[in-house]
Amino acid sequence: MSVLSKNYTLNNGVEIPKLGLGTWFIDDADAADAVRAAVATGYRHIDTAQAYGNERGVGEGVRTCGVPREQLFVVSKVAAEHKTNESAAKSIDETLEKMGLDYLVMMIIHSPQPLFTTKKGQFTTFQIDIARTYPI
């Protein structure tokens, strides 16, 4: 069995592929081809971020790779400059629009900052239904 077909199971039961395509330093113009090539090789975990500037191309690759969307574990990250829930939520909507996707499997806070914490020191979560792994 290839490492590309092995998964970890998260605490909520969602499975995440052990190996994923990281798209940092892939230009937006080249991202769709990179995603399609990776998926053709067997990758099912695709990772991008707002800060990478390639979400549009990554989304195109996801949409046109020939593998059903529900079989892909697509991740992006909220850029560090979003310091409020409102700003982060707006940026997530922009990510979905850029990528041309209805949902992401996971959205990560790229660089957590103290301004995102509650009085107890825990991160607040966004109550929007765009991610399957954890309500953001």
Catalytically active residues, by annotation: 52
Three-class secondary structure of residue 21 per DSSP: strand
Region of 134 (left: φ > 0; alpha: ψ -120 to 50; beta: rest) is: beta
Question: Alpha-carbon torsion 11, 130, 115, 25, what sign?
Answer: positive
| Cα distance between residue 125 and residue 118, in whole Å | 10
| Cα distance between residue 43 and residue 24, in whole Å | 16
Residue 9 per-residue DSSP state = E
